């Protein structure tokens, strides 16, 4: 009897969503395995994996809203627009940032917004993933899409390091929203 069902997999950092699918295929000795949405390799989180007959519902599960918890660091930007790229610009923060300032800024990002995915993303353009173009040093026009941020909440204290400020947040958003962590 072939295995069938939905596995709530905690994807560790360092693995792609496809790596997870490949491992599950080997573990359950079946080719009918798929995931319901891509998580970046440097992100850990829950990745629903559909096995066997459950792969028929994967497309419907992908349409659900998503919730992410992450951290923002103010004071520099990177090539990959996340914490894992090379620093390309730095502007040291020389003042305190208040919780009220953060809450006000987060509110500006809620609702329907237009979003352009980062170059280092799995979004496909002309059959290739954007990160493939980025790694090859090729610039392409990235698609802008309409997404919805239902809530963007400040979760805690503002942490202070020399020249940097950081804080944690929780975002609930529509399918297709790109959140870099």
pTM of the model: 0.81
pLDDT at position 179:
85
Tens-place pLDDT, residues 31-52: 999 998 888 787 888 999 999 9
Catalytic option among 40, 63, 65, 153: 40
pLDDT top residue among 122 and 6: 6
Quick one: average pLDDT of 66-88?
90
71 within domain boundaries:
yes
Contact between residue 46 and residue 60 where contact means Cβ atoms under 8 Å apart:
no
The verdict on 49 and 72 lying in the same domain is no
Quick one: average pLDDT of 70-75?
93
The verdict on 116 and 43 lying in the same domain is no
The verdict on 116 and 89 lying in the same domain is yes
The verdict on 81 and 142 lying in the same domain is yes
Residue finishing a domain among 45, 61, 77: 61
Tell me the DSSP string of the chain. ----EEEEEEEPTT--HHHHHHHHHHHHT-S-EEESS---TT--EEEEEEEGGGGGGHHHHTTS-EEEEEEEEESEEETTSSTTS-EEEE----S---HHHHHHHHHHT-EEEEE---SSS--EETTEEHHHHHHHT---PPPPEEEEEEEEEE-SPPEEETTEEEEEEEEEE-TT-----
- The whole-angstrom separation of Cα 52 and Cα 28 is 10
Which residue range forms the structural domain that includes residue 95? 66-173
CATH number for 74: 3.30.2350.10
Indicate the burial class of 59 (C-beta count within 10 angstroms; 0-12, 13-18, 19 or more).
Answer: exposed
The verdict on 130 and 78 lying in the same domain is yes
Residue finishing a domain among 34, 61, 88: 61
Contact between residue 28 and residue 50 where contact means Cβ atoms under 8 Å apart:
no
pLDDT at 181 over 80: no
Active-site annotation holds for 40: yes
181 within domain boundaries:
no
Q: Which helix (H) or strand (E) holds 48?
A: strand 45-51
In DSSP terms, 160 is beta-bridged to 165
89 within domain boundaries:
yes
The verdict on 38 and 123 lying in the same domain is no
The verdict on 168 and 95 lying in the same domain is yes
DSSP 8-class letter at 95: S
pLDDT at position 121:
83
Residue finishing a domain among 44, 61, 78: 61
The verdict on 166 and 107 lying in the same domain is yes
Please state the domain count of the chain. Answer: 2
180 within domain boundaries:
no
The verdict on 96 and 21 lying in the same domain is no
The verdict on 33 and 118 lying in the same domain is no
């Amino acid at each position: 009897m072939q295995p069938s069902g939905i596995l709530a997999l905690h994807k560790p950092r360092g693995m792609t969503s496809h790596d997870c699918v490949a491992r599950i295929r080997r573990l359950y000795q079946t080719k009918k395995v798929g995931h319901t949405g891509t998580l970046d390799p440097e992100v850990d989180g829950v990745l629903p994996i559909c096995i066997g007959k459950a792969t028929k519902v994967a497309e419907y599960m992908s349409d659900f809203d998503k919730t992410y918890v992450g951290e923002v660091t103010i004071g520099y930007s990177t090539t990959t627009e996340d914490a894992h790229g090379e620093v390309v610009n730095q502007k040291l923060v020389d003042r305190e940032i208040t919780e009220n300032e953060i809450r006000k800024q987060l509110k500006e990002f809620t609702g329907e917004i237009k979003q352009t995915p980062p170059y280092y993303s799995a979004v496909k353009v002309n059959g290739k993933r954007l990160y493939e173009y980025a790694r090859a040093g090729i610039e392409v026009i990235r698609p802008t899409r309409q997404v919805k941020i239902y809530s963007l909440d400040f979760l805690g204290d503002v942490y202070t390091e020399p020249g940097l400020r950081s804080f944690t947040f929780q975002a609930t958003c529509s399918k297709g929203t790109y959140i870099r962590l």
